[in-house]
């Protein structure tokens, strides 16, 4: 029996299925992984620093102009649309076959595809807020040059003039306790955990897999992961194609 046939059968039988995904879920939408070799090279060549430095809390506070230039040019993709993987996951949820999506991505494409139960471990680009008064704004307002100081780069709050920032977890910051707790609980309840588009190398998010004690761990990633030997099912195929083919086999 093929991987997709086996996965389809497990989805049909499972009472609680969770999908855990990373950057590879969105690369098929044209969103590059900033941690890739190309992303590391581009960051150093164009901005003079590695992404881990550029996206750190220290750098955000010390050099906001460079931080926002890098962030806006590399981590916000307004024209990106959900791909086959996002659509398949939303369809599985609609059919009652998927109980939650746990994502490391900040692009909002799962919600754009129609997924409702999405736990965003690293936050979202779509709800910037003021570090001084806490007021939120839209992404359009965040990107509006008319609301930005220093050559249209640094966004300012319309309410108090304070610094706006994306509602994402930067390096040196802790993940949200409530989101992490909810993710751990839903993974702990899962009978079937599908992990896709992630090398499982980014912590503490990847550490959530230790809470899984269900029947089947299914991994879908183009390259091997540290958990391949622990999984009952492993595919190195393209995520969108694998999930779409699996969905097509379900009644």
Q: How far is CA 135 from the centre of its chain?
A: 24
Separation CA 89–CA 78 (nearest Å): 21
The answer to whether 122 is a known catalytic residue is yes
What totals of helices (H) and strands (E) does the chain contain, helices first?
Answer: 12, 10
- Single out the catalytic residue among 77, 86, 110, 122: 122
Distances (CA, A) of 218 to 18, 57, 231: 10, 35, 6
Residue 72: how many other CB atoms lie within 10 Å: 16
Distances (CA, A) of 26 to 14, 104, 108, 211: 26, 10, 10, 25
Separation CA 76–CA 36 (nearest Å): 17
Active site residues: 122
């Amino acid at each position: 029996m093929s991987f997709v046939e086996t996965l389809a059968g497990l989805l049909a039988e499972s009472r609680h299925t969770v999908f855990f995904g990373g950057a590879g879920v969105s690369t098929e939408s044209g969103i590059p992984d900033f941690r890739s070799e190309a992303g590391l090279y581009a960051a150093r060549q164009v901005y003079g620093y590695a992404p881990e430095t550029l996206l750190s809390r220290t750098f955000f506070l010390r050099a906001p102009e460079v931080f926002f230039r890098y962030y806006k040019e590399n981590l916000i993709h307004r024209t990106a649309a959900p791909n086959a993987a996002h659509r398949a996951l939303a369809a599985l949820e609609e059919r009652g076959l998927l109980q939650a999506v746990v994502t490391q991505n900040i692009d909002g494409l799962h919600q754009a595809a129609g997924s409702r139960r999405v736990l965003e471990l690293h936050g979202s680009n779509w709800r910037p807020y003021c570090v001084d008064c806490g007021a939120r704004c839209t992404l359009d307002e965040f990107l509006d040059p008319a609301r930005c100081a220093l050559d249209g780069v640094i966004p300012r709050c319309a309410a108090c003039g304070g610094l706006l920032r994306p509602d994402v977890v930067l390096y040196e910051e802790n993940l949200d306790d409530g989101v992490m707790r909810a993710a751990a609980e839903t993974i702990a309840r899962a009978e079937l955990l599908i992990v896709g588009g992630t090398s499982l190398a980014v912590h503490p998010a990847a550490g959530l897999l230790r809470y899984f004690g269900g029947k089947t761990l299914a991994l879908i990633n183009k390259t091997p992961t540290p958990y391949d030997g622990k999984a009952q099912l492993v595919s190195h195929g393209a995520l969108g194609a694998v999930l779409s083919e699996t969905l097509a086999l379900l009644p």
